[in-house]
Structure 1
Amino acid sequence: MKFVIVGYGRVGTRTARILQSEGHDLVIVESEREKVERARDEGFTVVHGDGSEESVLQEASIGSADAIGALAGDLNTNFSACMIAKEHGCRTILRIDADYREEIYDKYAADVDEIIYPERLGAAGAKTALLGGDFNVLADLTEQLSIASVQVPEGSPFVGKRVVEVELPGDAHIYAHGRHHEPMTIPLPQTEIEAGDSVAVMAAPEGLDAVRSSLRGEA
């Protein structure tokens, strides 16, 4: 498959590397010279320019791409890129930072194919969305991370906190959340943790015990 990735920051870089390792064709669109050079040094085809401009996306061959991942740190750039790509028949993946509220989500959700919160899902979620897959199917995305489900007890220090506010040891991340006896889904920015909730975390294998202890209030 062929993809256009707008933004070569942390999320764009990791997403591009995953897609490249799986044999997909991709073009990076990046406005910052330093990031352009870094992407080229890593072997990517790069268009230096503003991803919100149609001429730049056309240079990146948006017309023949299967999907666009608008993964820059600026929401306006990302949304503009998606709207241009939509006119060219592309699947559109819009990045929204984790601190945006539900009304922001609702404003853009109808116009794009997928909205992702990279701070919760990282490159795993971006890659899965680009391929049109199930967000729950994450086992194949990396051999360097492990996934675990943890139930949050009443004594946890995270009860009452928003999922996006949770900081875990070893750069671990919560990528899904569910109420007691309910299926887990990708949490919205305002989702608060309650006692008895379950969270799915992504962490380095050697750090899982510390993550579990932290969530349970045992650390």
Structure 2
Amino acid sequence: MKVAIGGAGAVGRSIARELLENGHDVALIERKAENFEVDSIPAAHWVSGDACELSLLESMALQDFDVVIAATGDDKANVVLSLLAKTEFAVSRVVARVNDPRNEWLFDEAWGVDVAVSTPRMLASLVEEAVAVGDLVRLMQFRKGSASLLELTLPDDTPWGGRPVRKLELPRDAALVTILRGNRVIVPAPDEPLEGGDELLLVAVPESEDELRALLLPEAPA
């Protein structure tokens, strides 16, 4: 897979290293001389210039890339790169970094963004996921549609303990994706019994969240 990364700061370089280790072809675009460190990641193709310049992207043949990642520390630059990648070069997958959560509303399909990654929001979700037992935690929202990936840890005394997954009558537009139990990742087969402490990963629209809470917490099912 060919991946172009706009921004070769600490975040961009970290992403590049991970992708290269997984066998992908990576190009790093960087305009700041202090961040243009070819020796730090020699396996990447380094491009000197502004990732928001159409002529630079044309010289790279950006249309030949499978993924563009806008990873600069400037939200305006990330939005512009995303829009150019999608509208001018028809890149199939555009991922953008959100530096300021107040700008999240900009990072949507209208601006060419398929997936927006907000570090502050992600960290907050991880903290909530680590400490919250007995409530829904929104881990991430999918850009195509309004559905979110949700996590719920069943309390040790859950009334669902020992009951099979098939007894869960989930609301419309909600689905159980997997069950995390200790080090195990369990496919939610109909006869799989639930246990206290299980982490349930679900996909659901916001309108279904209250129904999910009422179903799974805290009263015993009928």
Q: TM-score, normalised by structure 1?
A: 0.55
- Identify, as 1 or 2, the structure richer in strand: 2
Report SS of the residue matched to 2:90: coil
Q: Which residue of 1 aligns with 2:30?
A: 30
Contiguous gaps of at least 5 residues in structure 1:
123-135, 137-146, 153-178, 188-196, 199-219
1:70 CA drift (Å)? 0.3
1:81 CA drift (Å)? 0.7
For 1:69-148, what aligned pairs fall within 5 Å after superposition? 69-87=69-87, 88-90=89-91, 91-97=93-99, 99-101=100-102, 104-111=103-110, 112-119=113-120
Q: Is the 8 A contact 2:6 2:30 kept in 1?
A: yes
Percent sequence identity is: 26
Q: Is the 8 A contact 1:29 1:57 kept in 2?
A: no
**Deviation digits for residues 6-31 of structure 1 (CA, Å, limit 9, x no counterpart):** 00111101000000000100111000
1:183 CA drift (Å)? 4.6
1:39 aligns with 2:38: yes
Distance 1:118 1:100 in 2: 8
Bigger RCO (CA 8 Å, 6+ sep):
1
Q: Which residue of 1 aligns with 2:15?
A: 15
Q: What RMSD, in angstroms, separates the aligned Cα atoms of the two structures?
A: 2.9
Q: Which residue of 2 aligns with 1:68?
A: 68
Aligned-partner residue type, residue 8 of structure 2 = Y
Aligned-partner residue type, residue 41 of structure 2 = E
Distance 1:33 1:89 in 2: 29
1:94 CA drift (Å)? 1.3
Q: Which residue of 2 aligns with 1:170?
A: none
In the superposition, relative to structure 1, how do residues 18 and 120 fare at CA in structure 2: closer, same or farther (>3 Å)?
Answer: farther
Report SS of the residue matched to 1:13: helix
Q: TM-score, normalised by structure 2?
A: 0.54
Report SS of the residue matched to 1:23: coil
What is the aligned length?
Answer: 136
Contiguous gaps of at least 5 residues in structure 2:
142-151, 154-222
